[in-house]
Amino acid sequence: MDYTPRQIWELLRSGQLKRALDSHTVWLCSSCYKCAVRCSTGIPFADVMYGIKRLGVKEKLNKKGIGGPVWSNTFLGNVRRFDKITDIAVMLQFFQDLNRYGFLFLLLQYLLSPIHEQALHRRMKDL
């Protein structure tokens, strides 16, 4: 991440929404809610991040070349389609949406590691 949650909040407070959306931080937020738990003022920051992402995608405010909006749409589309997150489906769709098929080799190496081999076999059965 290129900004901390506190820095993103300050960008928003100072009216620099575009600058916040051009960062990777907003788009890489995994909604773990750690920022909200740690916030001494009780700001529901993960919810703010959701709102920023939605606004950025809707208004096309993000900088070209940032994969975050594509990731956000892919991630949410996977949840809507499968009611859960499946690593394989999300990653394959993400690389397809980005038109960056060269990364598929890295994805396959990751997925074929011993840790993911069983998950891959289960997923293949579902297809």
- The candidate with the shortest Cα–Cα distance to 9, out of 40, 47, 48, is 48
Q: Supply the range of the domain harboring residue 92.
A: 68-126
Q: Are residues 51 and 28 in the same domain?
A: yes
Same domain, 91 and 112: yes
pLDDT of residue 106: 64
More confident residue, 54 or 110: 54
Identify whether residues 76 and 106 lie together within a single domain. Answer: yes
Are 72 and 122 in the same domain?
Answer: yes
Same domain, 53 and 87: no
Burial of 43 (0-12, 13-18, 19+ CB in 10 A): middle
Q: Are 41 and 90 within one domain?
A: no
pTM of the predicted model as reported, rounded to 2 decimal places:
0.56
Residue 114's CB: how many other CB atoms inside 10 A? 6
In this prediction, residues 47-62 reach a mean pLDDT of 83
Q: Give the count of domains, the chain.
A: 2
Same domain, 121 and 92: yes
Task: Tell me which amino acid residue 54 is.
Answer: R
pLDDT: which is higher, 13 or 116: 13
The two tokens of residue 68 are 């975050």
Please tell me whether residues 94 and 122 are part of one structural domain: yes
Q: How far apart are the first and last CA of the chain?
A: 35
Shared-domain flag, residues 76 and 26: no
- Does 117 score more than 70 pLDDT? no
Tell me which of 63 and 58 has the higher pLDDT. Answer: 58
**Domain co-membership, 98 together with 121:** yes
55 and 77 fall within a common domain: no
Share of the chain above pLDDT 70, in %: 72
Q: Which stretch, 4-18, 33-47, 101-115, has highest mean pLDDT?
A: 4-18
pLDDT at residue number 93? 78
> What pLDDT, on the 0 to 100 scale, is given for residue 12?
93
Per-residue pLDDT at 127 exceeds 80:
no
Q: Are both 50 and 72 inside the same structural domain?
A: no
pLDDT band for position 8 (50/70/90)?
very high
